[in-house]
């Protein structure tokens, strides 16, 4: 079992807007992963989302906590993908910041 990846992404959106954007971002995740061949499942309990995805036989799972000023994500990778953990963490950080950055009207 590999060590989980933990990513914390600050935001200035408030919980409700941050959660809405996360929900919207996860909606297209199955299409982005594995050319649409991924199975993505998620469920919310309050401001915590648990998720799992399966791409080309590799399972990924984790949880995401929406806080007032940040989102904290913890992801468990299978041994094969843990070899690229640093790169995956960087990509999660970058994509999360893009999703949660404030947009000026």
With beta carbons less than 8 A apart as the criterion, state whether 26 and 42 touch: yes
For the chain, domains (ranges, CATH) are 5-94 (3.30.310)
| pLDDT single digits (tens) 9-48 | 999 999 999 999 998 888 766 666 655 556 788 999 999 9
Number of C-beta neighbours around residue 24 at 10 A: 10
Residue-by-residue DSSP string for 15-31: HHHHHHHHHHHHHTHHH
| pLDDT single digits (tens) 53-71 | 887 778 889 999 999 999 9
């Amino acid at each position: 079992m590999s060590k989980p990846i933990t990513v914390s992404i600050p935001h200035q959106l408030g919980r409700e807007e941050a959660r809405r954007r996360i929900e919207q971002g996860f909606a297209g995740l199955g299409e982005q992963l594995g050319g649409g061949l991924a199975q993505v499942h998620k469920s919310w309990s309050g401001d915590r989302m648990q998720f799992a995805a399966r791409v080309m036989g590799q399972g990924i799972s984790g949880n995401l906590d929406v806080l007032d000023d940040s989102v904290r994500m913890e992801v468990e990778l299978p041994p094969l993908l843990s070899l690229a953990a640093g790169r995956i963490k960087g990509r999660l950080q970058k994509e999360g910041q893009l999703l949660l950055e404030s947009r000026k009207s």
